[in-house]
Structure 1
Amino acid sequence: MSRILQRSHIAFVHDVFMAAISFPLALYLRVGDGVRFYQADNILFSAALFTLIAAASFWYFGLYRGIWRYASLNDLTRIAKAVSVAVAVLFLVLFLTTRLDWMPRSAPIIQWFLLMALLGGSRLTYRIAKDKSTARALVRQGTTRLPVLLIGAGDEAEAFIRETERSADTPFKVVGIVSLTEGRVGRNMHGVDVLATADKLEDVIKKLEMSRHGVPRRLVLTGDALRHEDNVKWVEIADRYGMTLARLPKLGDLREGLADPLQIRPVAIEDLLGRPQARLDRDRVREMIGGKRVLVTGAGGSIGSELVRQIASYGPASLTLVDAGEYNLYAIDMEMAEKFPDLPRESILGDVRDRVRIGQVFDHVAPEIVFHAAAYKHVPLVEHNPNEGILTNTLGTRNVAEACRAAGVATMVLISTDKAVNPANVMGASKRLAECYCQALETLPLDQRGPTRFVTVRFGNVLGSTGSVVPLFRRQLEAGGPLTVTHEGITRYFMTIAEAVELVLQSAELGRHGVTDGGKIFVLDMGRPVKIIDLARQMILLSGLRPGKDVEIKVTGLRPGEKLYEELFHDSEPPVPTETDGVMLASPRVVDYAEIKQVFDALEDSATNRNTHQTLELISKLVPEFQPPEIGVKSIFADTPAETANQVTGDTA
């Protein structure tokens, strides 16, 4: 600490000295030898006065909090502010005392540029000297750095190359850059050439192989490259040439000080989604959540726990966590205690199936915003246990929704799934029924619905969530394989957990302004679907293994209720964009509240009594697209044939 203080004091003395000589030098530059005709007392008084003013200004603007070795544009900006204030104050004082009768009017301008050069130039000279000494030290030590090839010639690449040249500790040396566009090919970035475009990656690697550098040891992707549609090919190319695939920190993390520019990380499967992830309008979400009482059901699950984390960061008045699983609830509660110890919160064991318990919780907490994430989501398990799926996913949603109405909750957000579109399984149908109930409530007249807005958010598979394919593949890889895929052609939409939750929060903010009038549903634009077999191959390659040689991929056949591909929209519900990029609106069929209430009462009776046949029949009445093989049930839309109903009303998402 004393050493830092000594250095800052030395820098301060240096700057004050430069300020002291800047006034007479500026005057000399203006009038030349004519300076001898000016009164020495005026010059000395003005120089001394400016020295005192400049010293105060320099310290006030924090010129000594930075490190000269890492002088940057921010430091230059601070210097400019400090010099401008000091020069302005000096000449204001001189004008008030002497009317500047003896001084040329251009002297302040000359002094400003002169002092900027004296202060900024010395810092730049010091930085250059230190960087050169570091480079010489590396040469003397015979330091060998790993050759790396960058894909992407943007700001992240520039920051990484700059730090590798500056730092004595980095083990990397950038030997070339592959650009994503033609515009930067042939140009140079801190002495590193942009060799070609990404479609010529293999040619670049072969060319480097014949050079003194040899084949690069690592292929490093920047943020733009991670979102490129060819990133899957690069995984295979890296494997072919024995290169390790890695990625740079995101530019946003660098700007916010969350990452080291020299840190390169293994590429995770979520990095290869091939599209930019949706981003949150944080100010609007903070306005929605800040100071509000918020309740999350299913708070211990993958989506629920991420919801809790993000909501807590926006400063709610209180946060209530509800979950039926003791351990999951305990885990997220402990995490909140560590990260947000001052946030008023309550963790409550409770099952959304239990209407009385949910009512007690709402009476006790009086939430203003409710996020309903409690659900069974594993398709084969719900297919084999349809009554349990209906009791939790469908009737549990009804219990929460009616509790919201009774408590006067401002906004309820139902988290749904793409499997609710043309559902081929009980899980998808149970979520579609949940959507139908919230839609029916949303379309009620205000005097019947009350103040509550019912917002439904639909999205696809979440990478890394419990029960999803990625954790399964990871476990299978750890066991040595094989990785099991149910069908070679099966595809799914994917997003990250954080992205899914950001969508939920953004949709809640939009929904409270009436965007979902008429029972509309929010859907994320998830880009193109991903083939599961390709996902398996990528995970094997990213583990440093070879598909088909080191680890087998086994096709096991479709499971009960499993579809080859999922849909985000029904054919008859065309997407409508919203003011938020990546968030769209669907307009699926809306069922009358009186009709759906009657069927739900019957569903409660059949599911509670575990009358599976009757449960499936009732599901099909509200969701005619869902037709179990053993039954054929006439739609409740008796005046409209099923085929026509699908075409006209759209389905069921």
Structure 2
Amino acid sequence: MSRLFQRSYIAFVHDVTMAAISLPAALYLRVGEGVVFYNPQNILFSVSVFTVIAAITFWVFGLYRGIWRYASLNDLMRIAKAVTVAVGVLFLVLFLTARLEWLPRSTPIIQWFLLMAMLGGSRLIYRVAKDKTTARAMVRQGTHRVPVLLIGAGDEAEAFIRETFRSANTPFDVIGIVSLTDSRVGRNMHGIDVLATADKLEEALGKLAKSKRGLPRRLVLTGDALRHDDITKWVEIADQHGMTLARLPKLSDLREGLADPLQIRPVAIEDLLGRPQARLDRDKVRQMIAGRRVLVTGAGGSIGSELVRQISAYGPASLTLLDAGEYNLYAIDMEMAEKYPNIPRESILGDVRDRTRIEQVFAEQQPEIVFHAAAYKHVPLVEHNPNEGILTNTLGTRNVAEACRSTGVGTMVLISTDKAVNPANVMGASKRLAECYCQALETLPADQRGPTRFVTVRFGNVLGSTGSVVPLFRRQLEAGGPLTVTDEGITRYFMTIAEAVELVLQAAELGKHGVTEGGKIFVLDMGRPVKIIDLARQMILLSGLRPGKDIDIKVTGLRPGEKLYEELFHDGEPPEPTETDGVMLAAPRVVDYALIKQVFEELGESAASRDTHKTLELMSRLVPEFQPPEIGVKSFFAKSEPEKLDKAASGQ
């Protein structure tokens, strides 16, 4: 007999015994010493019947799946249901057999409360005794616990404190809590005081320093504290007091069994965004993706590979992965083969620059939804190689868009960037031109555009993507520094890869309904911009080091084409809300399709012949904000050309 079965059997015997005792005890409480005048046969019959009823009921309700050591409110609710059913069945049996002539009517009610106390109380006593035994054992063994201060007084904090009392192996000792609101200050949670509000964190630390418990060694973020505006300030406070900053698992992870309540994790860089990560309406996205043929360009890149992962989870009819990089394509193909072997999949080597190859792939695969993520995005590299940027980012987008149009794709989603707003560099201008082309197609009459909806999604920097600042800082940290920042005042918008892709999928779902009519562009809400130098300091602090002492931060100066700050909207494109939080619409000016098609043909010739001067000149015509110093040409939107301006702005 296994130990688990033995314990369940003992608990079962205990509960049935309590059930047998409960009826005569309830009768005694009702009539006192008058119980001696009741017929023993009636009492014995009722006890026997109830014992059988209780044994069956308790087992059916699963009272022995729970562990007494961790008895909780859920266990109490299960006991209450089982006792209610058992007492109710007994009452019915006695009514049918003897019309309850000999039993006082209030006895079943008294029995219910009595049995609840006997079953629930025994579990509570066992748990309390076990906790005290554990605590004494830890004291005898000299177990040392790390003192921690919790930031946040919600459900995650309560679960963590409760588990620290239960577990003999926990290395943590909660010595206080600071709350995000005033309502819980001065109260306590399982005997742990809520000392102050989070904006008075340093004051609370001062009180602890003067107390017997002393300063905590860790500040631990819980619940909503992970989305609080002051999280970056807490990083610095922790460093000033020689503490580390950590976080608890999310309550949803605890409920789904994906995390241990006692698991304290390092604060990840995405926790410092200062806002909740956006989430999509998964049901609508599933309806869009499920059973459809989907193609992703740039499938091996940071955004493309995450698109492939999330799309696969929604059950497409088939998935085509297109990329020019052999290894990246191989890596995502192998990952999909392991995780989603039943989804029909084609991994195709091909460059979006190659119009013939793109047309061939589209003709063979016949995709219904296309996500165009293939692009060069490293600003300095594209700045020094402008023709390559145009060939991939701009003309590659044209090739994909025209292939979508000719094969009747339902929705094409172009992934753009905030650098396309008032572009100061070739990369931003090349993406703005790509936006212009898709906008021009979207504004064509339906009989010319065909069934395809051309959706453009614009967002900023993605944490952890290839070429972004976070992997650079990590490499520099591993090398011992310094961390390089181009300017102390430089700021950027940031998103995590997962939330960026989720909102791209949400925008695609909205776009298929014609929300982008007139050439509107989806812009993802990135929250507030983050200073890069602050990000560098926080990464140093989170690694357990001190900025300026252990690791230096070096200001290197702005690179060619780099702006101090990025914008999500042009001054002439005020944002409009959509039905989805985190997704807005912008209405930048639209260029006539015939005009942009003509200029793109010229761009193709100049970029292919590597005529950089001509390429930059043509770019500045269509994107008036982009004016390289060496190019002094008139824009298509210059005041000296009002006819072209009016024609382009009206989309004629």
TM over 0.5: yes
Q: Give the 3-state SS of the residue equivalent to 2:219 in structure 1.
A: strand
* Deviation by residue 1:339-398 (Cα, 9 ceiling, x = unmatched): 333333232222122222223323333333222211110011111111111111112222
Q: Give the 3-state SS of the residue equivalent to 2:558 in structure 1.
A: coil
Q: Give the 3-state SS of the residue equivalent to 2:557 in structure 1.
A: coil
Structure 1 residues 88, 359: closer, same or farther in 2, change over 3 A?
Answer: farther
Structure 1 residues 583, 88: closer, same or farther in 2, change over 3 A?
Answer: farther
For 1:78-227, list aligned pairs within 5 A: 78-91=78-91, 108-227=108-227
* Deviation by residue 1:56-104 (Cα, 9 ceiling, x = unmatched): 4333333322212112222233333434444455555666666666666
**Correspondence for 2:318:** 318
Q: Give the 3-state SS of the residue equivalent to 1:309 in structure 2.
A: helix
For 1:243-262, list aligned pairs within 5 A: 243-262=243-262
Code of the aligned partner of 1:271: D
* Deviation by residue 1:553-575 (Cα, 9 ceiling, x = unmatched): 22111111111100011122222
Deviation at 1:485, TM superposition (A): 1.2
Note if contact 1:226-1:271 (Cα within 8 Å) is conserved in structure 2: yes
Note if contact 1:455-1:511 (Cα within 8 Å) is conserved in structure 2: yes
Deviation at 1:460, TM superposition (A): 0.8
The number of residues matched between the two structures is 649
Structure 1 residues 62, 645: closer, same or farther in 2, change over 3 A?
Answer: farther
Code of the aligned partner of 2:441: L
Code of the aligned partner of 2:531: K
**Correspondence for 1:406:** 406
* Deviation by residue 1:445-471 (Cα, 9 ceiling, x = unmatched): 333333332222111111111111111
**Correspondence for 1:503:** 503
Q: Give the 3-state SS of the residue equivalent to 1:176 in structure 2.
A: strand
Note if contact 1:19-1:54 (Cα within 8 Å) is conserved in structure 2: yes
Code of the aligned partner of 1:464: G
For 2:110 and 2:316, locate their aligned partners in 1 and report how far apart those are by CA, in whole Å. 54
For 2:290 and 2:23, locate their aligned partners in 1 and report how far apart those are by CA, in whole Å. 53
For 2:250 and 2:413, locate their aligned partners in 1 and report how far apart those are by CA, in whole Å. 31
For 2:126 and 2:44, locate their aligned partners in 1 and report how far apart those are by CA, in whole Å. 30
For 2:613 and 2:325, locate their aligned partners in 1 and report how far apart those are by CA, in whole Å. 29
For 1:637-648, list aligned pairs within 5 A: 637=637
Deviation at 1:44, TM superposition (A): 4.7
Structure 1 residues 608, 185: closer, same or farther in 2, change over 3 A?
Answer: same
**Correspondence for 2:72:** 72
Note if contact 2:323-2:348 (Cα within 8 Å) is conserved in structure 1: yes
For 2:143 and 2:430, locate their aligned partners in 1 and report how far apart those are by CA, in whole Å. 62
Using the size of structure 2 for normalisation, the TM-score is 0.92
**Correspondence for 1:327:** 327
Q: Give the 3-state SS of the residue equivalent to 2:633 in structure 1.
A: coil
Structure 1 residues 632, 93: closer, same or farther in 2, change over 3 A?
Answer: farther
**Correspondence for 1:543:** 543
Q: Give the 3-state SS of the residue equivalent to 1:561 in structure 2.
A: coil
The answer to whether the aligner puts 1:304 opposite 2:309 as a matched pair is no
**Correspondence for 2:588:** 588
For 1:469-484, list aligned pairs within 5 A: 469-484=469-484
Structure 1 residues 28, 514: closer, same or farther in 2, change over 3 A?
Answer: farther
Code of the aligned partner of 2:561: G
The answer to whether the aligner puts 1:396 opposite 2:401 as a matched pair is no
**Correspondence for 1:12:** 12
**Correspondence for 2:527:** 527
For 1:253-652, list aligned pairs within 5 A: 253-637=253-637
Deviation at 1:37, TM superposition (A): 6.6
Structure 1 residues 23, 530: closer, same or farther in 2, change over 3 A?
Answer: same
Note if contact 1:238-1:245 (Cα within 8 Å) is conserved in structure 2: yes
Gap regions ≥5 residues in structure 2: none
Note if contact 2:591-2:649 (Cα within 8 Å) is conserved in structure 1: no
**Correspondence for 1:62:** 62
Structure 1 residues 148, 51: closer, same or farther in 2, change over 3 A?
Answer: same
Note if contact 1:423-1:625 (Cα within 8 Å) is conserved in structure 2: yes
Note if contact 2:177-2:195 (Cα within 8 Å) is conserved in structure 1: yes
For 1:511 and 1:41, locate their aligned partners in 2 and report how far apart those are by CA, in whole Å. 78
Q: Give the 3-state SS of the residue equivalent to 1:444 in structure 2.
A: coil
Note if contact 2:477-2:483 (Cα within 8 Å) is conserved in structure 1: yes
For 1:640 and 1:34, locate their aligned partners in 2 and report how far apart those are by CA, in whole Å. 111
Greater CA drift, 458-467 or 405-414: 405-414
Structure 1 residues 21, 488: closer, same or farther in 2, change over 3 A?
Answer: same
Greater CA drift, 538-547 or 382-391: 538-547
Structure 1 residues 30, 571: closer, same or farther in 2, change over 3 A?
Answer: farther
Code of the aligned partner of 1:609: S
Structure 1 residues 292, 94: closer, same or farther in 2, change over 3 A?
Answer: farther
Greater CA drift, 424-433 or 16-25: 16-25
Note if contact 1:521-1:586 (Cα within 8 Å) is conserved in structure 2: yes
